[in-house]
Amino acid sequence: MIPKRIGVLTSGGDCPGLNAVLHGVVSAATTRGYEVLGFLDGYEGLLNPVRYQRLNPLSVSHISHLGGTILGTTNRGRFVAKVGAGKKSEIDPNILKQARDNCRALNVHALICIGGDGSLSTSLQLQKAGVNVVGVPKTIDNDILATASTFGFDSAVTCVVDSLDRLHTTARSHKRIMVVETMGRHAGWIALHGGLAGGADAILIPEIPFYYSKVGAFAKKRASLGISSTMIVVAEGAFPAKGRLSTIRSGLRGKGEVRIGGIGEQVARQMEKRTGQETRHVVLGHLQRGGNPTALDRILGTRFGIGAVELVVKNKFGHMVSYQNYEIGGVPISQAVARIRTVPPKGQFVRHAREIGICVGD
């Protein structure tokens, strides 16, 4: 007799803490008598030929501190369900049926899907197709509704802070303006948290369109006061009030989301032109996704994994693990992916940044 099984997969972009979630899932599921199958390379592992590996406490005993995911992941392929901010596409019904039939053939009682809003939107379609789904929110941007925080975010912010610590010294030595571009397509949480913790002088985020003239005037005033360097943090999705989002090119072969990037270089070019001060820019890019997770992300990831198994045990399918008021709970996935969680332009966090003299460009 085939034992009752829980499937688990990691989908979308990687981030620190994914392996901690897998550790939590496998450990909690095993103690409840489930066998765990880890599907490889995201949702693609559900399709013919099915690709999976059996996971047990021994195979995940020392992975929580590792970055990335031992199962592999992808944001390409036949399950891509996100084509832009808030825009979703329908998965081919034949693909959904194939995945459902393969889960049933393997006696997978429930499928735990770890991913961002696009991946969770895919999980909802699987749920409607007949697969018992539980979601685990994953995004370094920290922009998923219905959860106060997601694993990977703290690690990304720590990367930004470490980078700023290093760049401050060279900026002061050469009396330069430094522009640091962080991730954050549509939400500025990483730039805001990283900039505040790392001593940024100006922080530009997607939620507050900025003016080059005001950022330039801010840097010139600092120089007139004898402050030799200025550190500007800009989220990749930030854009000038009288301009538009900076993009590199469309997704691979025209599929998926448009690739955002280049704003850091544009800001640096404008600052040098407007201030006459030597300016350099740095794009942190995938450095923010890589490396080992912080202690906070290891703990949060492990608890998310345990919480996901608890939702399976309670038959709360179509739900996502949620973190609120230091407690792990669950909310409907449909509620979580209704829209992304962005920085309130007039909220307390932005107000506090302004109160300590940080320029936000408006």
Active site residues: 141
Pairwise CA distance, residues 85 & 60, whole Å: 34
- The secondary structure of residue 43, as a DSSP letter, is G
Burial of 60 by CB count in 10 Å (0-12 exposed, 13-18 middle, 19+ buried)?
buried
Pairwise CA distance, residues 271 & 8, whole Å: 47
Question: Which residues on neighbouring strands pair with residue 104, listed in sequence order?
Answer: none
Dihedrals φ, ψ of 110, to 5°? -150, 150
Residue 64: how many CB atoms within 10 A of its CB? Answer: 22
- No. of H helices and E strands in the chain? 10, 15
Between β-strands 259-260 and 247-249, what pairing exists: parallel, antiparallel or unpaired? antiparallel
**CB-based contact 119:77 (threshold 8 Å):** no
- The secondary structure of residue 63, as a DSSP letter, is -
Number of residues that this document lists for the chain: 362
